[in-house]
A and B are shown apart, each in its own frame.
Chain A
Amino acid sequence: MGVATGRRSTLPGFGLTMGLTLTWLSVIILIPLAGLFLKTFELSFDQFWGIVTSRRTLNALKISFGLSFAAAIVNLVMGTIVVWALVRYRFPGRRLFDAIVDIPFALPTAVAGVALSSLFAQKGWLGAPLAELGIKVAFTPAGIFIAMIFIGIPFVVRTVQPILIDLDVEIEEAAASLGASRWHTVFRVILPSLIPALLTGFALAFARGIGEYGSVIFIAGNLPNVSEIAPLLIVIRLSEFRYADATAIAVVMLVASFLIIFAVNRLQRWAQTRIPAH
């Protein structure tokens, strides 16, 4: 990498900009991340395995991965409904709601955390009526689930939206003229052609939820083994100066998110070869 090849460019500055880019990238990203992996190699495999499979760690990982997966499923379904309403229908406030979808991206996670926590607290706007029904959200795993739905909302909507907008009108008309009911057209023709985008949005929301910290910890209750997410366990281990434990959990999470990103990249490439955009 970093070696200019092929076409000779008349433009100046390749050496300088590439050199500084690689230096800066190394100092900020590569060396610190390498340090993380090096730290794990100070552990023997048994030590590493012991940390990762300890009850508390395992539960924290289960909670982060499991609830994030469930929240991503909710976002897959609701995101499809939202994107359908935003793209296909005209109703008052449509543009406003379109803009609102980005708020979970833009709102600092700590603000989202305290807001959700307050909203679902026993005396909160939503917490109070839910409590009357006997449903407790704040300080339970349900709270984590809610927070993860919140931060995942934009992913499915924003990945599917451009594809749905560009979808060829004719394929729907073709399906109708072949005798398909609207139901068949939607479920056999439109949704299948959105699958790559839907899966990408799902995977991105899933990855985001696994690592999410700020918006979750306020509403979570943070009870070990019950409502303690993996990132919080890292913070706790750090405050106990158990760096090895923190590092081992971090490595597991990092590897998982890299795998997801890799899967997304493959998915995009597959979608492009089989279903090229016109």
Chain B
Amino acid sequence: MTIELKNIVKKFGAFTALDGVDLKVANGELLALLGPSGSGKTTLLRIIAGLDWPDAGEVSFDGESTLGHGASERRVGFVFQHYALFRHMTVFENVAFGLRVQPRAVRKDEAGIRMRVKELLDLVQLDWLADRYPNQLSGGQRQRIALARALAIEPGILLLDEPFGALDAKVRKELRQWLRSLHSEISVTSIFVTHDQEEALEVANRVVVMDKGQIEQIGTPAEVYDNPATAFVHGFIGESIVLPVEVNQGCVRLGGKSLGIAVADGISGASKLFVRRHDMQVGPIGAGLLEGTIRHVRTFGPTQRAEVALCGGEGKTLIEIDAPRDRTLQAGDIVGLRPQRYRIFAAQD
């Protein structure tokens, strides 16, 4: 099923949760809504599910408006952040619930329900838990049962709100891979909300980055990581060195010193230079290079991380850079730094 959102606006009192959101989701996609808390991503998910209504805008599934339908008529599978399993029902009854409340005309008979529930429990590999109650399960098991329950109604769309938020780090990793392989198996159009960029980049086919009720960028994990469209995305995804620079007629200066790097047209005045830590090349000092003193070097994994105090500018600016291990760096060295890949965005305020 495809989803199309047009100009969605949602306000809670004076707070604008969604400020004109447009989004198209193709059939079978696995999409991540990524953003800090308060960015409106959960509200957007709830609007798609019919658990909240937009103040303005249009939601359509397969080209048909769906705002006239309530949550119970949309056939949208929703996995809640805290799973919302029915505590007084066994795992089996939880999964069967959506089948049992169907109108009599389309409802499966008891044998049919049993078979379907069995299938779903097999799918999430928890058939041996059918007779347990939710509070006898671990967090990861509850998560999978919640997913099986949502899939029982054969939803056209699957929505997951912070699906791994309440789990510990190890289980999170396992469930991420599991979710991705499950999606390729059932290929239902799926959207999940997360504030964890690693999770979004690792699991989703496409990532929607949101901030303050608006979409900042939509793209594949590689696109949003390598070509952040806005300063927010660059700062939010991956770790970046951010330096305040002054752009004047194509010349980029930091603390009065020209950096000798190019800048796109249209940017002028106070701006911000974003560089990934591993994109900062370290070498001997020279003209047109940033200059700094190495304070501290830590070595782990394939790289070494150096803390560098930049010279010039007001006060001292400390940055952390990652360099290959074959380059010998020592505390006290004075080095030249050149941003190899970088982005410059006009400072917003």
Contact = CB atoms under 8 A, between A and B. Distances in A.
- In the complex, A touching B, CB below 8 Å? yes
B71 A173 contact: yes
Given A168-B82, A188-B101, A274-B135, A176 B88 contact: no
A168 B82 CA distance: 10
A170 B97 contact: no
A268 to B, nearest CB: 15
B88 A177 contact: no
A275 B88 contact: yes
Contacts of B83: 170
Contact of A184 (B78, B101, B152): B101
B86 interface: yes
Given A177-B76, A192-B86, 4 more contacts: A174-B86, A177-B71, A188-B100, A188-B101
A192 B90 CA distance: 13
B135 A181 contact: no
A179 B88 contact: no
B80 to A, nearest CB: 5
Contacts of B85: 171, 174
B88 A181 contact: no
Nearest to B71: A176
A195 B78 CA distance: 26
A171 B75 contact: no
A193 B88 contact: yes
B25 interface: no
B98 A178 contact: yes
A76 B78 CA distance: 34
Given A188-B97, A188-B101, A275-B135, A173 B51 contact: yes
B153 interface: yes
A168 B84 contact: yes
Given A193-B87, A274-B135, A276-B135, A181 B101 contact: yes
Interface residues on B, range: 20 to 34
Contacts of A195: 88
A171 B88 CA distance: 11
A184 B152 CA distance: 17
Interface string A176-203: 1111110010001100110100000000
Interface in B215-229: none
Contacts of A274: 87-88, 133, 135
A193 to B, nearest CB: 5
Interface in A191-228: 192-193, 195
23 contacts: A170-B80, A171-B87, A173-B71, A173-B78, A174-B80, A174-B86, A174-B149, A176-B51, A177-B51, A177-B71, A177-B72, A177-B74, A177-B78, A179-B73, A179-B102, A179-B153, A180-B72, A181-B101, A184-B101, A188-B97, A274-B88, A274-B135, A276-B135
Contacts of B59: none
Q: Name the residue in B70, B76, B88, B150 with the highest tally of chain A Cβ atoms < 10 Å from its Cβ.
A: B88
Contact of A178 (B51, B82, B135, B152): B152
Interface string B222-244: 00000000000000000000000
B77 interface: yes
A179 B72 contact: yes
A175 interface: yes
A166 B150 CA distance: 24
B72 A176 contact: yes
Contacts of A184: 101
Nearest to B77: A177
A178 B150 contact: yes
A181 B19 CA distance: 31
Contacts of B153: 178-179
Contacts of A170: 80-84
B75 to A, nearest CB: 7
Most buried by B among A174, A180, A189: A174
A188 B97 CA distance: 9
B49 interface: yes
B170 to A, nearest CB: 23
A168 B75 CA distance: 22
B101 A179 contact: yes
A171 B84 contact: yes
Nearest to A189: B86
B86 A177 contact: no
